[in-house]
A and B are shown apart, each in its own frame.
Chain A
């Protein structure tokens, strides 16, 4: 089988690229191992909602047209949104097709798939940023009777067997949401907190993502920031998208009965060991939050928006600080690792990957001519990994793809 371009993955990035190639009249297929928006339907927990308000679910020639633009879609609703997008331009998706390899051939590339090989001139890998969970080395030291699962495996409180205490490791979006849900279900919860980015849901009457978009933060380019490697490794915001627009910070969790500890650093047969740096990571997150809100206030002033906005309502500093650095391991029944996710490109040639199994790239161009990647942290801009970044990145990479396959501008 042949097509000019093969896109791997029918999520928001794959569909956005498909739309861009369709607009350019470039023939292509989208190979999807499940169905459109598979990860959103099958690999997220039941109560998950988008972190970004619905109006930010913008894709090329597609926008949110529902009646709650400032709300936060459930994962299944977003999957429906993508399904409708795919149908809107009759995207050439081939569901149930798993891709296992890409290799160079004499006249281009060949994609090995479960329905046979596809010869093509270019491949766009759009399999998503959450192919594998990051689990720290200390996981292998945890006694076997303690149940362990990752944020990608968690579905609801019943996924964590028993009634005893659960240690949730990681205080970014997944960690705080899972800790909160388990606590509301009546489980004792200990949350291990490492570095995190604290933001309020709303500030001066506007959603924090509205602000980040307005001040240009989300459009920042790799060459505009001092430490790109660090920016690419930043965890998700400590945030939740919910109808009541609440903040889900450490003090809120403590008030609901969650116990907080420092980052889990070591385990042996008898104890869990937590870093004593908790006061520092909390203070650092508050300082970083203050700098963001300063930037927002400066922007509001410069744009003459002060009269239309509510006055600055700075969140209080987090009071959580001192915590036990050692806990008996028998006090914990299960551990949920919410310690991050990364893309899983290990089905590709190891020479193309970094030491974590993720494609090396320069703005989405990999080391193999004709092979491109979408949906990695800070791929081309800060919002590359967000829904709103998929389309703009795809449009730019489509220019490269078009040049590579020898096709001109859209007709």
Chain B
């Protein structure tokens, strides 16, 4: 499957390709097995650089058009250098990107023209968790709030429905809301 003559339609979403993918993967479930990959290098202190280039899917090795790099660090209030966003903030970008992409796709599927979509995200975290001060306090987010302001050719209920459906089919929403097995080993 290649993107030879994809026609960009409503909201810039190639609906034909998306629905075609769904049909194709229903017939060939093995092709649906994807592996996302990243490599990261410690730079200095709490500064780490992570690179993204290759991934596996549709039965073959794939590559992004270029190597993407992201720096993460801690801010100055943590006595660090602030060379990049904190790793935990990166999860908010993942969530925003995933939910918003979903909104664009679901809206396109429902024939709704979007004009602007803005998300404001907050994530609460009690530092006593990662600092080991209180065993009852978890390390990660206590909760995340996302507020969407959407300007579209649709009623409020239709927009709410699109936003609700986006959450139902969001990879990052699921990754954050539900447990995921993580295995860390030393080579």
Do A and B make up one complex? yes
Binding site for B on A (CB under 8 A): 262, 265-266, 273, 275-277, 280, 283-284, 287, 290-291, 322, 325-326
B143 close to chain A: CB less than 8 A: yes
B134 at the interface (CB under 8 A from A): no
Q: Contact at A283–B173, with CB atoms within 8 Å? A: no
Report the bound CA distance from A284 to B143 in whole Å.
Answer: 19
| Interchain CB contact under 8 A, B178 and A287 | no
B166 to A, closest residue via Cβ: A280
Determine the distance from Cα of A292 to Cα of B173 in the docked complex, in whole angstroms: 27
Closest to A322 in B: B143
- Which chain A residues border B176 with CB–CB below 8 Å? 276
Q: How many residues of B contact A (CB 8 A)?
A: 16
Interface pairs (24), CB distance under 8 Å:
A262-B177, A265-B179, A266-B178, A266-B179, A275-B177, A275-B178, A276-B143, A276-B176, A276-B177, A276-B178, A277-B173, A277-B177, A280-B164, A280-B167, A283-B164, A284-B164, A284-B165, A284-B168, A287-B160, A287-B164, A290-B157, A291-B161, A325-B177, A326-B138
Residues of A contacting B168 with CB < 8 Å? 280, 284
Give the shortest distance, in Å, between B15 (CB) and chain A (any CB). Answer: 15
Shortest Cβ distance from A265 into B: residue: B178
Q: In the complex, what distance in Å separates the CA atom of A273 from the CA atom of B179?
A: 8
CA distance A319 to B138 in the complex (A): 25
Which applies to chain B's interface (DSSP): helix, strand, loop or mixed?
A: helix
Residues of B within 8 A of A326 (CB): 138
Are A283 and B160 interface neighbours, CB within 8 A?
yes
Q: A275-B178, A277-B177 are in contact. Are A287 and B143 (CB under 8 A)?
A: no
A265 proximity list for chain B (CB < 8 A): 178-179
Q: Report chain A residues within 8 Å CB of B144.
A: 276
Chain B's closest residue to A283 (CB) is: B164
- For B160-187 the 0/1 string (1 means CB < 8 A from A) is 1100110110000110111100000000
A291-B156 Cα distance, complex, nearest whole Å: 12
Among residues of A, the one whose C-beta sits closest to the C-beta of B162 is A287
Q: What's the Cα separation between A326 and B138 when bound, in Å? A: 10
The CA of A290 and the CA of B160, in the complex, are separated in Å by 11
